[in-house]
Amino acid sequence: MIQLKQIEKSYRTDTIETLALNRINLSVFQGEFLSIMGPSGCGKSTLLNIMGLLDAPTKGEVLIDGRLTTHLSDKQLAHFRNQTIGFIFQSFHLINDLRVLDNVELPLLYRKVSASERVQLAKEALTKVGLSNRMKHFPSQLSGGQKQRVAIARAIVGRPQIILADEPTGNLDSAMGNEIMDLLLHLNATEGTTIVMVTHDETMAKKTHRLVRLFDGAQVNDHTLKQVYA
Amino acid sequence: MLKNYFKIAIAVLKRRKFFTFISLFGISFTLTILIVATAFIDNATSDNYPEVNRDRSLYITSVQEKGLKNHSQMNSPASFYYLDRYVSTLKTPVKVAISSFYAVTNAYINNKRLAINLKYTNDEFWDVFQYKFIEGKPYTLQQINNGEHVAVISEDTKRDYFGDLPTVVGKYIEADNVQYRVAGVVKSVPVTMPLSYADLYVPYTVSKTDYRQKTLMGNYTAVMMAATKADVPKMKEEYAAIVAKIKPDDKEYDEFISIADTYVASFIRNSPLGSSDESGISKLVMAASIFLLFFMLLPTLNLVNINISRIMERSSEIGVRKAFGASSSTLVGQFIVENLILTFLGCIIGIIISFIILQLMNNTNMIANMHLTINGTVLLYSMAACIIFGLISGVYPAWRMSRLQVVTALKSQ
Amino acid sequence: MISHLFKLIWNKKKQNFLLITEMFVSFLVMFAVFTMIVRAYNNYRHPLGFEYDDVWVASYMTPENIQSDDSAALFQDVLRKQLQSFPQVVEAGFSGHNFPFAMTMSNSMVSSDQNEGVMTNFYNADDNYLKVLNAKMLSGRWFSKADDVSKSPVVVINRKLQEELFEGKNAIGKYIEYGGDRLKVIGVMENMKDKGTYTPVENGLFKRIDAGAAKWTSNILIKVKPGADAVFEGKLFKALSNTIGTSVEIEHMDKKLTRQNKLSLIPMIIMLVVGGFLIINVALGLFGVLWYNINKRRSEIGLRRAVGASGNSVSKQLVGESLVLSTLALLIGLFFAIQFPLLKVFDLPASVYLVAIALSVAFIYILVFLCALYPGRQAAAIYPAVALHEE
């Protein structure tokens, strides 16, 4: 589903060049739930951003669904993200000025979907995450776990093939974290959505199919926990 | 989509009330000043009571004699003799109004002094200018030729001189030490229209100076009215042809110049901006545009600054939108629409404030008899100014916003 | 400390560019406004140099039957005598069209042995003019009957013209060249600010109304006793109208001054309203942006507090940063503003521009200081622990 070939990412400040990622090769298969672990600053989030086409690698190629993404324009990238990828962030990134329903609708705004259909799909997504009774609330009226569930609803409303989650449980206590994790596992199991999750939490990572460890921008370990698809 | 923009725009406006206030204040007051200024200009330049035929009229407000040897020149209004002989006889104009510049004279009533502006006119003056007669009627050609001491007075003069009398036609008014019989009372004209403004209109034949004197220069102006607007250029040419044949009366000068101008041009040509070669309108327009640019520059900069602050505050939103598939151009569009909504709100407030200010000006009679209005044209121009304002102040911040990297945008919360 | 501030600003030059532009344009606007105000105040400080209370002006058209110079002079004598016969009239004197507070101007180039080509106002005045207006002589004397027989034409000049034409030396007895004529200076009078309270003192040269000029001088300045009312004015008007036979107008000089001052004040009031609105706008904008910027830097401020900066020093630093920003804007502004006195634009004294520059610099500093004060105070109240935790 996602193929990373010889990915390098370096940041250049005035004098020093820091290498954040060093020759990463990684394939994520369709329907897989992959977790990425590693100490702070090892390049996990950078890797996720590159997978999500939010950031371009300095060297190397990203193929998604077999398509090379290197030379896509801003517009094409936007379209691609919209169609195939859903994002979940550690700090939720909900738009505080919009109600829950409007927040969930957001990805559909950039597709040609009628208003009534948007509402319909957003309601369905919110029902899936168990928040159908909070549609008219503003994000500030929700708890952290509820916010993250809204964010998940937003990520799945466009039925993307891939969901990228950057420490989705990082800002939550363990009970809420488990709830969110169960939701992601359920999603992966029932809808077959490919999920890549960056996490700090060993117990969360243990629940996924495969665990990749990064250290100082390089891949050190690739450990399959459950064989799903050959 | 637009509905969504609208929703978020309103939410953003409500969140940072202080910024919203600054933006709206800047937009609405800039607009108010523009509208009030244009209302003045519009009042001074477009057809207004009683000068309703300006678009098919040409104005002769001055004649000039030039000496080529020592670059001497003399400017003056024309004499009655000149206008009567050379202008009244032209073929294209259907009517020619000849009148003197108003001159102040005194009337004394109930031991109080009343300054009265006196204007000498011919009979066609009453055809070219459409005065509204509250009572009576203008004096006739017959009365003028007989040299009768009859007068048309303004409504203000009637009130000041006669007090509360219901009708004054047939009564006598003494001004400039002469008794005039009142023939009619007209609605007053503001002093900003010097060609039609006066308190007391009397036949040129009763003037104390000799109107038959055969000189070119004097104290009179003429307004030529063509049958239709299309005839105006022809009228201008016909007058130019006549002027070319006239020699100055003073031997010191070699050249006689007089130009029939449109209303606005006739004033600007006599200002320091104009000359006999060019009316100076282009110079005036240029000066006004530079002033306008400067005047709009500060509020625009202010708005740009505030907009940038606002956008940077919303970096998380921008990041999310980009991550979920909004392209840069979509975001630019969104922000410009938001800004237009804001300017539009400011626009409406500005129009309301201007309306109140103009009403106040009219009601307090700041300039007597001047009635300022916001008409369609003024409104249209203001709206256009508003949209330009909104676009300019929105484009740069929007561009800055669209260049924001998703990764940094999402980080900075 | 200052270099630290400069470093901070330089590293954020892109964000600060617009703020600097805004301050720069505000400076230019204030410079224009202050130039007008300083000029008007400078003019206002000069004494008027004459008295206009209870002075009326009667203007008429010289009747057409008066053709010869002698009959014109005779006609003026008749009018003068007639006026003096009224007990309410203190004094009456003739003047050209450019009597004090009239709209008319008349000026020309004159030269002297010391100085070539000086522009001056030309006034026509008779022997009574000085007494009617109660103006003061500095040296020499005013016109009198004795000048009837003088060989060369005699003139009185004002102090300013003496300064410009004769380099301040005594001009009595010297000659002024004017279009081939040699005019003998018999007196120097104190400057008269005859165009209004807020207009500058100008060069002035007074010519005596002789028989040749009588035909063209048809304005009578009449000093009346205090308390002369409209009843008397009506009587006077009737008498003059009967004698003269053409249109006569009587005006009061105090009313003319009011009108003249309105003409100087109205553009200034409009400027002030527009300028004031722009500045309020800018002040609100600056306040908002500074406030926002400081809020955005909470973690930086928290860090500074954590490493030992006091709340006071943090707020001082933030206000200092804004002032350094405005200094940059003012430097650019000064470069443009200083061109005005250097290139002598608009023919104003350099001192007016310099004072206006000083005032607008002070104004912008105060404005920025006030706008930064509150946000700076707010920043001082940031607790390091809270601010750092937020990141």
Assign residue A133 the CATH number of its domain: 3.40.50.300
- Are B321 and A75 an interchain contact pair (Cβ–Cβ within 8 Å)? no
- Are C278 and B295 an interchain contact pair (Cβ–Cβ within 8 Å)? yes
- Name every chain B residue with its beta carbon within 8 A of the beta carbon of C18: 301, 304-305, 308
SS3 string of C136-187? CEEEECCCCHHHHHCCCCEEEEEHHHHHHHCCCCCCCCCEEEECCEEEEEEE
Provide the pLDDT for residue A161: 92
pLDDT digits (tens, 9 = 90+) for B315-354: 888 888 888 888 888 888 888 888 888 888 888 899 899 9
Q: Identify whether A217 is part of a domain.
A: yes
Strand partners, A64: A2, A67
Q: Scanning every residue of chain B, which has its alpha carbon at the shortest distance from the alpha carbon of C250?
A: B106
Higher pLDDT, A123 or B215: A123
* pLDDT averaged over every residue in chain C: 85
| Residue B90 CB-density burial (10 A; 0-12 exposed, 13-18 middle, 19+ buried) | middle
Higher pLDDT, C224 or B402: C224
Q: Give percent above pLDDT 90 in chain C.
A: 19
Range C286-301 average pLDDT:
79
**Interface residue C246 vs chain B (CB under 8 A):** yes
SS3 string of C209-222? CCCCCHHHCCEEEE
Which pLDDT band, with edges at 50, 70 and 90, does C391 fall under? very low
| Cα gap B316→A90, rounded to integer Å | 13
- Name every chain A residue with its beta carbon within 8 A of the beta carbon of B327: 74-75, 77-79, 110
Q: Which of B341-345, B358-362, B376-380, C57-61 shows the lowest mean pLDDT across its residues?
A: B376-380
Give the three-class secondary structure for B280: coil
Higher pLDDT, B403 or C92: C92
The ipTM (two decimal places) reads: 0.84
Range B6-31 average pLDDT:
81
With 80 as the cut, is the pLDDT of residue B382 above it? no
Provide the pLDDT for residue A228: 53
Q: Which of A49, A74, A88, A93 to mutate to test the interface with B (most CBs of B within 10 A)?
A: A93
Closest CA to B61 of B305, B268, B252, B213: B268
- Name every chain B residue with its beta carbon within 8 A of the beta carbon of C329: none
Those residues whose C-beta lies under 8 Å from the C-beta of residue B331, and which sit 6 or more positions away, are B318, B321, B322, B398, B401, B402
Q: Which of B8, B324, B328 has the CB atom closest to A97's CB atom?
A: B8
Higher pLDDT, B253 or B183: B183
- Name every chain B residue with its beta carbon within 8 A of the beta carbon of C269: none
Provide the pLDDT for residue B69: 66
Q: Identify whether A198 is part of a domain.
A: yes
Which pLDDT band, with edges at 50, 70 and 90, does C384 fall under? low
Range A71-93 average pLDDT:
88
Q: Identify whether A63 is part of a domain.
A: no
**Interface residue A41 vs chain B (CB under 8 A):** no
Provide the pLDDT for residue B204: 92
Domain range annotation of chain B: 2-46+282-411, 76-228
| Cα gap A96→A88, rounded to integer Å | 16
Q: Which of B20, B22, B291 to mutate to test the interface with C (most CBs of C within 10 A)?
A: B22
Q: Which of B15, B317, B324 has the CB atom closest to A87's CB atom?
A: B324
Which pLDDT band, with edges at 50, 70 and 90, does A230 fall under? very low
Q: Say if residues B220 and B83 touch (Cβ distance below 8 Å).
A: yes
With 50 as the cut, is the pLDDT of residue B413 above it? no
Q: Which of B4, B12, B325 has the CB atom closest to A78's CB atom?
A: B325
- Are B26 and C238 an interchain contact pair (Cβ–Cβ within 8 Å)? no
pLDDT digits (tens, 9 = 90+) for C319-370: 888 898 899 999 999 999 988 888 877 778 888 999 999 999 999 999 999 9
With 60 as the cut, is the pLDDT of residue B186 above it? yes
Provide the pLDDT for residue B406: 79
If one counts the domains in chain A, the total is 1
With 80 as the cut, is the pLDDT of residue A45 above it? yes
With 90 as the cut, is the pLDDT of residue B149 above it? yes
Range A61-89 average pLDDT:
88
- Are B113 and C64 an interchain contact pair (Cβ–Cβ within 8 Å)? no
pLDDT digits (tens, 9 = 90+) for B77-104: 888 999 999 999 999 999 999 999 888 8
Which pLDDT band, with edges at 50, 70 and 90, does C374 fall under? confident
Range B280-303 average pLDDT:
83
Q: Scanning every residue of chain C, which has its alpha carbon at the shortest distance from the alpha carbon of B117?
A: C249
Q: Give percent above pLDDT 70 in chain C.
A: 95
Provide the pLDDT for residue A104: 92
Provide the pLDDT for residue B173: 92
With 60 as the cut, is the pLDDT of residue C141 above it? yes
Higher pLDDT, A95 or C142: C142
- Are C230 and B176 an interchain contact pair (Cβ–Cβ within 8 Å)? no
Q: For A113, phi and psi rounded to 5 degrees?
A: -125, 135
- Are A54 and B323 an interchain contact pair (Cβ–Cβ within 8 Å)? yes
Domain of residue A191: give its range: 32-42+73-224
Provide the pLDDT for residue C18: 83
Higher pLDDT, B405 or B351: B351
Q: Identify whether A156 is part of a domain.
A: yes
Q: Identify whether A118 is part of a domain.
A: yes
Entry field: residues in chain C:
391
Which pLDDT band, with edges at 50, 70 and 90, does B371 fall under? confident
- Are B406 and A115 an interchain contact pair (Cβ–Cβ within 8 Å)? no
Write down which chains contact chain A via at least 3 CB pairs under 8 A. Answer: B
Write down which chains contact chain B via at least 3 CB pairs under 8 A. Answer: A, C
Contact: chain C with chain B (3+ CB pairs below 8 Å): yes
With 80 as the cut, is the pLDDT of residue C298 above it? no
Q: Give percent above pLDDT 70 in chain B.
A: 98
**Interface residue C29 vs chain B (CB under 8 A):** yes
